Structure 1
């Protein structure tokens, strides 16, 4: 599979150090900054959730955490959608409703870090914005609209789309409607949700408002599990998960109509198709060696005999050259799928080669001495330059692993 002719190697900035001792000091400083006291934000339950039919899997009201902006950020808003995989069967959704990803009964106050932090040093561009984290309790990336009977006779509520609409409506009444700047973001399944709802979010504001989307680790691939390797099953794991979710939870309403006219709804749920229909400015932030997808899509448990891939998928540094080549096949597919973004005006790319998953909600990957660097920019610097249009464009695709020395083993995986 061909790779892009415009792939860029990372520009190594001030961090290129010859002395291992100095590098150790920087990593220790990064860890210290990443464990600094976070902002704790209380949970707010949606008003009138039952009347609106906007409820979690178990019927409890959904929730969100709102931290008010101040100073120059008083009329700027960041809406962040929580991630946490999907449920694609009655059995998996029944299990899910018994925990934090299916019921607000188990939700507590949340810590705000990374792009959600109000620490100016860590988050210089967005620290004083109004910031909202919407909790994920539907199991379909805030997109379903159906219900089913659980085996115990109770109702499973697949109301992700109603949750999205009702929570955003409530936030509009709390000041989002008068925003002058706005970002819709999210991580993992929340990153996919940011893609699914990007156009709707953008359309809620007047044209003069800068409303953009920032999906983080939400670009999931339809690829067989290590199909180029003889010792793996070759199953289309992500297709199976999405296919069950799409049909069980009825997500058709959020899918692009032009895609549905030509393709199966499951295919339209994948980001490679979604980006074709998104008109709002969007920055795709992702690792081309996404650790979650490598563990759960490329090499899911049960897809290989013995322990041949167990150590490798836990830590990419343990992989053989043959296994790295399989991962490079995944990377090539990823690069091909995001190729369309390169020609989209006002869009951005930050595709690094670090073995990580979700980079915006953590101090260490968002903005620290251990943050990945592309084009001489950390994640935070790249996002800020793209959003505020401080650079002509931010479209960076890293070279193949292990070419980027700024990829630290301290990054969340």
Structure 2
């Protein structure tokens, strides 16, 4: 199942789910188009296109939900990178869920310079002109009770990502080196929230802000603001899926991700928006979740794999730090990692555990850290809640998140080291080939 052809391809990549120890693939092999630069396309953008689990016993296919463009977006200055109106998909709730809202911030990486942002302007990640008119709602967005037992009948919104900086930039000037760029993620966030408030969000009894990958980072950034928009007596929480990016040295002892984030923050002039960012801190540090979470007061659930596939490929072992291609097979398939590489991966897992260690003491926070080689897990029925979903302490992700949201129990799940968990669906990538 290919992605939208609007995304300009540089390579194609085959990707499939595989159970540890099982020959062959769980899902069908499929091709996806990558954007021109490696950092442009967040792995979450195509994880959502992984074939879903078999149709539930109810026989229902995932619902198709129409795209809505923000009204008078130009007047509000709330524009995608190319100047088009931002959009979202809204599915109305029903019955007991009619006054409950779940919002999901789409992921899709970041652009660090004008050239990479220009590539996005001609794609679904920078322009609503290329966005699908309908998208499937699956996983945490599903309206099927068997797939999404706690949130199936809520009002659900998928907010499309087209600003390149986790809904956070706010640059007034449009011209950059003679070309128009609209770095307006913060205004997009505000415009969408204002529109949804008028559509019933302001009366929410329960509200849940979620996001995947770059949208997960945006969830950390906007969580408290989201809470402030809602009635004081409503239950409001947040969930960041695959969004806890680590500020660590890569295999060449460079902080590649920090340098990348520094460029993003500088390009979109975001330094002033982060109250946690001290004058002596590197620009890139301000954008990492480990810093952002320090100021959050709203309860947050951290959903992350210990061996995040995107981070292994772009944070821990980016291509620029591996000129001899010694990590190529390991990057594509965790089962192909040698003993030294596995030791480094276990160290990466430990860095994540250390980064969230302070969260153990926040009773109203929760986390689910499984030992899978994957990225986002909440938008796919196979990983969210199915008969073959990954489990920690015999709980699916959906069950753990529901238990936490509704205060049924404290949820702070930490999985054992790879390859201990046979329920994992690990991603396997084929070597890139030219189209």
Q: TM-score, with normalisation over the residues of structure 1? A: 0.88
Pick the aligned partner of 1:32 from 44, 54, 57.
Answer: 54
Change in CA separation of 1:274 and 1:353 when aligned onto 2, cut-off 3 Å: same
Pick the aligned partner of 2:108 from 84, 98, 105.
Answer: 84
1:40-64 deviation digits (Å, cap 9, x = unpaired)? 1110000010000000000000000
Distance, in Å, in 2 between the alignment partners of 1:163 and 1:210 is 24
Q: Are the equivalent residues in 1 in contact too, given 2:403–2:411 (CA < 8 A)?
A: yes
Change in CA separation of 1:84 and 1:30 when aligned onto 2, cut-off 3 Å: closer
Shift of the alpha carbon at 1:260? Answer: 3.2
Q: Are the equivalent residues in 2 in contact too, given 1:184–1:194 (CA < 8 A)?
A: yes
1:103-152 deviation digits (Å, cap 9, x = unpaired)? 0000111111100000111001000000000000000000001145355x
Pick the aligned partner of 1:248 from 245, 258, 267.
Answer: 267
Helix, strand or coil for the counterpart of 1:302?
helix
Shift of the alpha carbon at 1:262? Answer: 5.8
Change in CA separation of 1:254 and 1:370 when aligned onto 2, cut-off 3 Å: farther
Shift of the alpha carbon at 1:276? Answer: 1.0
Q: Are the equivalent residues in 2 in contact too, given 1:30–1:369 (CA < 8 A)?
A: no
Pick the aligned partner of 1:354 from 372, 386, 393.
Answer: 372
Structure 2 partner of 1:395 = 412
Shift of the alpha carbon at 1:253? Answer: 4.7
**Do structure 1's residue 404 and structure 2's residue 421 form an aligned pair?**
yes
Shift of the alpha carbon at 1:38? Answer: 1.5
Q: Are the equivalent residues in 1 in contact too, given 2:332–2:428 (CA < 8 A)?
A: no
Pick the aligned partner of 2:284 from 254, 263, 266.
Answer: 266
Structure 1 partner of 2:117 = 93
Distance, in Å, in 2 between the alignment partners of 1:343 and 1:141 is 27
Structure 1 partner of 2:30 = none
Q: Are the equivalent residues in 2 in contact too, given 1:50–1:61 (CA < 8 A)?
A: yes
Q: Are the equivalent residues in 2 in contact too, given 1:223–1:236 (CA < 8 A)?
A: yes
Q: Are the equivalent residues in 2 in contact too, given 1:82–1:186 (CA < 8 A)?
A: yes
Moved more, 367-376 or 257-266: 257-266
Shift of the alpha carbon at 1:181? Answer: 0.4
Q: Are the equivalent residues in 1 in contact too, given 2:333–2:428 (CA < 8 A)?
A: no
Q: Please show how residues 7-406 of structure 1 align to structure 2 within 5 Å.
A: 31-33=53-55, 37-108=61-132, 109-146=134-171, 147=173, 149-150=175-176, 153-226=178-251, 233-255=252-274, 257-260=275-278, 263-391=281-409, 393-406=410-423
Change in CA separation of 1:181 and 1:291 when aligned onto 2, cut-off 3 Å: same
Q: Are the equivalent residues in 2 in contact too, given 1:49–1:61 (CA < 8 A)?
A: yes
Distance, in Å, in 2 between the alignment partners of 1:310 and 1:327 is 14
Distance, in Å, in 2 between the alignment partners of 1:88 and 1:30 is 32
- What stretches of structure 2 of length at least 5 have no aligned partner? 1-21, 27-50, 431-435
Distance, in Å, in 2 between the alignment partners of 1:372 and 1:324 is 21
Distance, in Å, in 1 between the alignment partners of 2:90 and 2:366 is 27
Q: Are the equivalent residues in 1 in contact too, given 2:259–2:284 (CA < 8 A)?
A: no
Helix, strand or coil for the counterpart of 1:128?
coil
1:189-234 deviation digits (Å, cap 9, x = unpaired)? 00000000001001112331100000000000011212xxxxxx33
Distance, in Å, in 1 between the alignment partners of 2:292 and 2:427 is 32
Change in CA separation of 1:258 and 1:236 when aligned onto 2, cut-off 3 Å: closer
- What stretches of structure 1 of length at least 5 have no aligned partner? 1-19, 227-232
Change in CA separation of 1:264 and 1:237 when aligned onto 2, cut-off 3 Å: closer
Distance, in Å, in 2 between the alignment partners of 1:162 and 1:286 is 28
Q: Are the equivalent residues in 2 in contact too, given 1:33–1:363 (CA < 8 A)?
A: no
Change in CA separation of 1:215 and 1:174 when aligned onto 2, cut-off 3 Å: same
Change in CA separation of 1:364 and 1:411 when aligned onto 2, cut-off 3 Å: farther
Distance, in Å, in 2 between the alignment partners of 1:397 and 1:412 is 26
Q: Are the equivalent residues in 2 in contact too, given 1:356–1:412 (CA < 8 A)?
A: no
Q: TM-score, with normalisation over the residues of structure 2? A: 0.83
